[in-house]
Amino acid sequence: MYAEDEEDEDMDDDDEDSGLKEWYHTNQSQILALIIKIRGKLKSNTRKTIITLLINDVHYRDIVRDLYVKDCTSVNDFEWTKQLRFY
C-alpha cells in the first residue's frame, strides 16, 4: 500500500534530516503559500476553502513537529501509533 510504504520510507531515513523534518519544511512552505493566497482578493467560498486547508495543514505540521521533537524513528513508536487513532 502506498501510505504504508511512505511511512516506512520516512521513518527509515538514517540521515539527521529525517523524512519528518523534510516534510515539516515542505508543509511550512505550503502554509506560507496559503497565507499569501488568503491575503489576496478571493471569492467567499474560495477563501473558506483555503482557510479550511490552512487549518488542516497547521494541525498536521504541529503533529509532525511533535513526532520529530520526540525522536519518533519507527512506525512502531508509541508517539506514531497514538496518532493513528485519530485518522
Question: Kindly report the CA angle at 16 between 80 and 7, in degrees rounded to 5?
Answer: 30
Higher pLDDT, 56 or 3: 56
User: What is the overall mean pLDDT for the chain?
Assistant: 81
pLDDT digits (tens, 9 = 90+) for 48-72: 999 999 999 999 999 989 988 888 8
Burial group, residue 3, by CB count within 10 angstroms (0-12, 13-18, 19+): exposed
At position 21, the amino acid (one-letter code) is K
The rounded percent of the chain whose pLDDT value lies above 90 is 38
Cell of 35: 497565507
Query: Per-domain residue ranges for the chain?
Result: 18-84
At position 9, the amino acid (one-letter code) is E
